[in-house]
Structure 1
Amino acid sequence: MHSDAAPARGRGVRAFLHASLAGPRPSRAFAARGRSAVLNQLVLCALVLIVATIGILSSTLRNQSLFLVGVVIIFAVGMATLAVPWTRIPRVALYLLPLADVAGIAVIRVAEPMSGLGLMWVFPAMWLATLGVVGFLIQFAIITAAYTVIVVSGGTTVWGYTTFLLPAAVLAVATTTFISSRRQRAQAHLLEKQAALLSGALQRAQRQEELVIDVLDAVDFGVLRIAPDGTVSVVNEALGRFQNTIPGFGSRSREIENAYRADGVTPLPRAERPLLRALAGEVFENQVVWFGHPDERRHAMSITVRRMHDAEGADAGAVLIARDVTPEMTAMRARDRLVASVSHELRTPLTSVLGYLDLALDTLDDPEQARRSLEIAARNGERLLEIVADILAASSASRLSIDMTISPEPIDVAELVAATAEAWRPRAAERALTIDTTGIEPARAFADPLRLRQVMDNLVSNAVKYNRDGGAIFLGCTTDGDSTWILVRDTGTGIAEPDLGRLFERYFRARTDVEGTGLGLSISRDIARAHGGDITVQTSRGLGSTFMVQLPADERPAPAAAVPGEETGVRG
């Protein structure tokens, strides 16, 4: 599916071409000559067999015994030709067999001087001529000398053109064979050089291809090549991983299910599928497509298509680049949700502030009513300040923990808890909630009163928002002289088990139907830890939740730093 197959195929082709085009090695050249010699010798043996058969059957042989000696020599050479390991014998041994043929034909010529069988010298002459200049000179000298000896010893007294016709014919055939062999070897040498150049170019192209494939496999975005005829080929590993994650991605034959536009909710029409658009010749950039059902784990892909052209400017297809942008899109959505949530959180108290200020202006003649309106406006202004402080604390934080400055002092926690209860009674009364403060006991703590009031407001705010209408909130505090505890309990729906592990993560919200920035619990726990304490939670599904704040009762060495990397966040 990806490019791993390409190098393997390339290496196989490269090896094949290198082996087949690198040119004949010496052993292969000998083998080729051996095959030519075998064919040449078989033809000669067949011709001698026919002549011998005709001579024996017609009883026209003058010296049958000598004739048969020559025949035996030629057939022996034929058998040796078939048995010789041509790739392993020394080069000089190639001359011995055709010279034996010359001797055998000379014996036949002596046995039958008038038969014209000396023309069979053409076969060993051709054989020797293929071996090069040395072989050509040897055949000329040996055959000419043998013929001359035979003619002179035969008592020829009249020398005419017919006397020289046989050696001339043999020489002409040998010369033609020699020239053809030289031309063939020159062509073979040229082919060897061209094959070497081709093999080198093929190796360089293969190395470049492997380098490109290695680079493409190293990147984290998918690359898919589309040929001009619409053929689709996957060229890197990243796109293969995307295909495993998103079945049908990058495939023409398999339909992709649950594809959505950039908003993540509008189904993407088939005509707008990136691959189909690319096959249709379109060019586009950063088309974001969501894959997967909205209720399941999803993946967002940013897809770009570019057309390619060859050296002549003709269309060479297209390349599709796919990048997984799920984290970026998720972060952008979280940012949008946070902006909307913060805007809503700020708008509510701000509207109240402005409304009560207007009411105070309208009731200046009633000082008591105006005072109450201004007090309410002031409380909502403080709430605005707390929200802004939460946001600033989160924005100035490190990646997982906040960096804050506290100014601890000895305080009476009971007074602070009671003041918090009194401040939140009007908001609780809107939902018929009661705030029970019977659990408040005198308890001292060494803490920053402003920061601790921020923690209490966040916890009571959650207890109000996540409670049932008509429910109750229990506030209490106590001390053992070493540590001081503050308790905030509600009678709400409780916290689901899967959400407990993420309860203190920043921006986490267990319920999206309740207003909140997702920062309160995260910041509250960081404040408690900055004091050397902590916040823990216990919950029962359907019965409510209990938050316990632990603080030092007396001054003690400040902790080195808030512990980063642990869970941070908010319930609401």
Structure 2
Amino acid sequence: MALPVPSERLGLRRSIVANQMLLTAATLIGVTVSVLTRQVIDGAVFFAGAAVIFAGVVAAMLAPWERLPRWMMGALPIADVLAIALLREAAPLAGLGLLWAFPAIWVGMVFGVRGVVSISVVVTAVMIHQALVVDGQRFTSATLVLPFVIAALSSMSHFTARRAQAQRELLEKQSAELRRAVDRARRQEDLVTEVLDAVDFGVTRVTPSGDFTVTNAAHALLLNTTDAFGREVAVFSADGSTIIAPEASPLARARAGEVFEGELVWYGSPGEDRRALSITSRRLPASDIGEAGGVVVSRDVTVEEQARRAREDLVASVSHELRTPLTSIIGYLDLALDDPSITGPVRDRLTVAERNASRLLELVADILAMSTTSREGVGVDLDLRATDLSAVVRAAAESIAPRAEDHGIRVSVVGEAEALAVVDARRVRQVVDNLLSNAVKYIPRGGAVEVAVVCDVRSVAIVVSDDGPGIGPGEQARLFERFFRGDAVRNSSTHGSGLGLAISRDLVRAHGGEITVRTAPGEGAVFTVRLPRDSREGL
């Protein structure tokens, strides 16, 4: 039989000592009562049996059970069984045979089925022998019932021990699995921490209560709100000049549970060493235990923002310097074309020069318009007045009609006869002109463009649709990016700056509205401009 592990041997030693002490205590009570009631027939045998049991408790406490073979442990319960037999023989009427329950229970627990069978056989043999040989003992029902009870107690102890062993093994397996899971989770946490600390953007988790946890090193550096002297650093909005109150800062909004994407803020006052951060706040999926909180990601975009501003300043400066000489060139070309003395070939060349100069002036105007607006549409001065948008649309259609006829394209206006709204008529006309110009420019000859004006209680929609080739899914997401031109446009002879739709979106958003597109390859395109009835409410 295999030896138990040291922890099991230590537990076995404790069970031996505990069982022997209980047996000794019960024996002491039995001996005392038997002596006082004068039920002892043979004193020498009686006290010899008691002495063996008392010696057993001493042996249980002093014997090195951890180093002894397992079979040696059976010697103690055997000695107890024989000692109880002596007690029972010396005092047959004292009922001391019940003491066999103690070694029987322990043997069944430690030695299993073999121990149950062995002690049952030994107790039965002793009972029968004493009933036949010892004076004062008779063959009664107790002769067979007591061994059966002892066997039953030993069996119950055996099954209880087996069940406890199975539960212990299960707990040990679960404990080992739990330790492995904890080790695995700790390794994963260390790996995640190392990865997060290695990246150059800040990541932090926000608990449902608004506390920050799992913060990486970059987050602490990027969102440090104090300068070298311990003073609070001011936070500014995307324009770099509008200060943001502490309760309206991106971190405060994220702690309050708000969700936003790519929020641009500046840390530091103008003229100081400041940094621009793009901050995103998202909610995490809810778990079984409830709300999971959110995550805040911050990225340093100072270099990109400085480069963008420098580019816009350069573009605006160059465009402004080009606009004046171009206007002068076009003016002189118009004067030359009005001269009746100009011959046919010369007039044709001047017409080509005037057309190209006008296109260049339009491009410069688009670039200037782009440089005066930001990505949020701020910086656009609006002259808001009550305007009939149907009249604005009809005027734009009439203006584009000659050019559309040259391309063989039909332009029609449908919808409301009058659509009043408080808008900047000049800016809305610029948006409609851009949409009509794109439609006429990019759909094939023989196509059709329809402009519809649709009203409801709160808004007015201007819908420009065409039956052209449509726009692919890969390009739709970038339609409103500045300087973006699709592959089909770049590969054609059609010219364009890629600024018209971006400028139109900024102008519409400045009114508190939105511009959307619905298109698919081969199904044309539908651009919808939705403006509030009173744009002053959205400002």
Relative to the length of structure 1, the TM-score reads 0.50
Which structure would you say has the larger Rg? 1
Mapping of residues 170-189 of structure 1, within 5 Å = 170-189=150-169
Relative to structure 1, the CA distance from residue 275 to residue 259 in structure 2 (aligned partners, 3 Å threshold; closer, same or farther) is same
Relative to structure 1, the CA distance from residue 247 to residue 63 in structure 2 (aligned partners, 3 Å threshold; closer, same or farther) is farther
Q: Distance in 2 between matches of 1:211 and 1:269?
A: 37
Question: Of residues 215, 219, 242 in structure 2, which corresponds to 1:239?
Answer: 219
Q: Distance in 2 between matches of 1:255 and 1:136?
A: 82
Q: Distance in 1 between matches of 2:238 and 2:66?
A: 71
Cα deviation, 1:483-537, whole Å, max 9, x if unaligned, reads xxxxxxxxxxxxxxxxxxxxxxxxxxxxxxxxxxxxxxxxxxxxxxxxxxxxxxx
Partner of 2:237: 261
> Percent identity over the alignment?
40
Q: Which amino acid aligns with 1:90?
A: P
Determine whether 1:309 maps to 2:285: yes
How far 1:181 moved relative to its partner?
2.1
How far 1:224 moved relative to its partner?
1.0
How far 1:256 moved relative to its partner?
5.5
Partner of 1:270: 246
Partner of 1:125: 104
Partner of 1:376: none
Determine whether 1:51 maps to 2:27: no
Determine whether 1:322 maps to 2:298: yes
Does the 8 Å contact 2:92/2:136 carry over to 1?
no
Secondary structure at the aligned position of 2:101 is classed as helix
How far 1:130 moved relative to its partner?
0.3
Determine whether 1:217 maps to 2:193: no
Q: Distance in 1 between matches of 2:74 and 2:98?
A: 20
Cα deviation, 1:13-55, whole Å, max 9, x if unaligned, reads xxxxxxxxxxxx8333333333333332222111122233344
Cα deviation, 1:453-493, whole Å, max 9, x if unaligned, reads xxxxxxxxxxxxxxxxxxxxxxxxxxxxxxxxxxxxxxxxx
Secondary structure at the aligned position of 1:246 is classed as coil
Relative to structure 1, the CA distance from residue 256 to residue 283 in structure 2 (aligned partners, 3 Å threshold; closer, same or farther) is farther
Partner of 2:265: 289
Relative to structure 1, the CA distance from residue 217 to residue 87 in structure 2 (aligned partners, 3 Å threshold; closer, same or farther) is farther
Q: Distance in 1 between matches of 2:325 and 2:173?
A: 88
Mapping of residues 385-400 of structure 1, within 5 Å = none
Q: Which amino acid aligns with 2:294?
A: A
Mapping of residues 190-205 of structure 1, within 5 Å = 190-205=170-185
Relative to structure 1, the CA distance from residue 331 to residue 72 in structure 2 (aligned partners, 3 Å threshold; closer, same or farther) is farther
Relative to structure 1, the CA distance from residue 105 to residue 349 in structure 2 (aligned partners, 3 Å threshold; closer, same or farther) is same
Relative to structure 1, the CA distance from residue 122 to residue 205 in structure 2 (aligned partners, 3 Å threshold; closer, same or farther) is same
Does the 8 Å contact 1:27/1:88 carry over to 2?
no
How far 1:166 moved relative to its partner?
2.3
Relative to structure 1, the CA distance from residue 296 to residue 104 in structure 2 (aligned partners, 3 Å threshold; closer, same or farther) is farther
Secondary structure at the aligned position of 2:265 is classed as strand
Question: Of residues 149, 155, 168 in structure 1, which corresponds to 2:148?
Answer: 168
Does the 8 Å contact 1:28/1:87 carry over to 2?
no
How far 1:259 moved relative to its partner?
1.4
Q: Distance in 1 between matches of 2:123 and 2:92?
A: 15
Partner of 1:506: none
Relative to structure 1, the CA distance from residue 343 to residue 84 in structure 2 (aligned partners, 3 Å threshold; closer, same or farther) is farther
Partner of 2:120: 140
Q: Distance in 2 between matches of 1:262 and 1:50?
A: 92
Determine whether 1:28 maps to 2:3: no
Unaligned regions of 5+ residues in structure 1, if any? 1-24, 249-253, 358-572
Cα deviation, 1:410-453, whole Å, max 9, x if unaligned, reads xxxxxxxxxxxxxxxxxxxxxxxxxxxxxxxxxxxxxxxxxxxx
Determine whether 1:75 maps to 2:54: yes
Q: Which amino acid aligns with 1:62?
A: I
How far 1:128 moved relative to its partner?
0.2
Secondary structure at the aligned position of 1:278 is classed as helix
Relative to structure 1, the CA distance from residue 247 to residue 75 in structure 2 (aligned partners, 3 Å threshold; closer, same or farther) is farther
Structure with bigger RCO (C-alpha 8 Å, 6+ apart): 1
Q: Distance in 1 between matches of 2:116 and 2:289?
A: 57
Secondary structure at the aligned position of 2:139 is classed as coil
Cα deviation, 1:275-326, whole Å, max 9, x if unaligned, reads 2212332211111222234454323221101112146797422111011222
Does the 8 Å contact 2:204/2:213 carry over to 1?
yes
Alignment: residue pair count: 325
Determine whether 1:39 maps to 2:15: no
How far 1:91 moved relative to its partner?
2.6
Relative to structure 1, the CA distance from residue 310 to residue 130 in structure 2 (aligned partners, 3 Å threshold; closer, same or farther) is same
Secondary structure at the aligned position of 1:114 is classed as coil
Partner of 2:78: 99
How far 1:268 moved relative to its partner?
0.8
How far 1:120 moved relative to its partner?
0.2
Secondary structure at the aligned position of 1:263 is classed as coil
Q: Distance in 2 between matches of 1:289 and 1:107?
A: 96
Mapping of residues 127-526 of structure 1, within 5 Å = 127-131=106-110, 132-155=112-135, 158-242=138-222, 245-247=224-226, 257-310=233-286, 315-338=291-314
Q: Distance in 1 between matches of 2:249 and 2:71?
A: 74
Q: Distance in 1 between matches of 2:142 and 2:290?
A: 71
Q: Which amino acid aligns with 1:30?
A: R
Partner of 1:533: none
Q: Distance in 1 between matches of 2:73 and 2:309?
A: 86
Q: Distance in 1 between matches of 2:312 and 2:225?
A: 27
Secondary structure at the aligned position of 1:224 is classed as strand
Secondary structure at the aligned position of 2:292 is classed as strand
Secondary structure at the aligned position of 1:142 is classed as helix
Q: Distance in 2 between matches of 1:38 and 1:327?
A: 79
Relative to structure 1, the CA distance from residue 288 to residue 80 in structure 2 (aligned partners, 3 Å threshold; closer, same or farther) is farther
Relative to structure 1, the CA distance from residue 229 to residue 96 in structure 2 (aligned partners, 3 Å threshold; closer, same or farther) is farther
Q: Distance in 1 between matches of 2:255 and 2:11?
A: 53
Q: Identify which range, 63-72 or 259-268, moves more after superposition.
A: 63-72
Q: Distance in 2 between matches of 1:262 and 1:304?
A: 14
Does the 8 Å contact 1:307/1:315 carry over to 2?
no
Q: Which amino acid aligns with 1:66?
A: V
Q: Which amino acid aligns with 2:41?
A: R
How far 1:121 moved relative to its partner?
0.6
How far 1:59 moved relative to its partner?
5.6
Secondary structure at the aligned position of 2:266 is classed as strand
How far 1:199 moved relative to its partner?
4.2
Does the 8 Å contact 1:234/1:240 carry over to 2?
no
Q: CA RMSD in A?
A: 3.7
Relative to the length of structure 2, the TM-score reads 0.53
How far 1:127 moved relative to its partner?
0.3
